[in-house]
Amino acid sequence: MRSARAPLHEVDEERLVRLVAKGDRAAFEELYRRTSPWLAVRLRRRCVDEQIVAEVMQETYLAVWRAAGAFAGAAVGGTATGWLWTIAARRLVDAFRRRAHHAEPPPAAAVPDAVPAAEEEALAETVGGEVGDALRRLAPELRQVLQAMVLDGLSVRETAVLLGLPEGTVKTRARRARTAMRRALV
């Protein structure tokens, strides 16, 4: 049956997810081959613990295998990669919560903003000057929304899922962040 359709390396990610939903193991392997490198990089930007990253990767792809049929895709304005990132981000938050219940927080975590996060350092390197200063002066909740929507390219809906906020709150915070940035750069 596979010979009747395009080879998997020519199929887009949304179609791969649809094939995974039908139990197509080769489509799952192709989806993993394409998406796991960038997903690991994105997770490492938020977490330096390789063990947690590995656990989240495994849990994410297990969830993809099990829940591919629930993927709504372009019908609701989403993308396969956005859906995958949303799953991974949720799993990362869950992993942090599990760790917090079972262990003392690392000393750096006890002191707020003691060491800038990897994202903050990357942001400082890529966005310098007045824009970078304005971004760093934003309230953390505004900066978080701006980073998800601008740096990660997530939609309002995906950002809402990632941050566990209502979509209206995401829109409000995005508007407030843009307004604050405009004022800071005038």
pLDDT in tens, 135-157: 778 888 888 888 778 766 677 88
DSSP annotation of 113 reads: T
Alpha-carbon distance values, 175 to 92, 117, 129, 146, 160 (Å) = 27, 24, 22, 9, 14
Thinking of the domain 111-185, which architecture would CATH place it in? Orthogonal Bundle (1.10)
| Domain chopping of the chain, boundaries | 8-106, 111-185
Mean pLDDT along residues 117-130: 51
Cβ-based neighbour number of residue 47 at 10 Å: 17
% the chain with pLDDT above 70: 76
Domain 8-106 sits in CATH 1.10.1740.10: yes
Predicted structure pTM score: 0.55
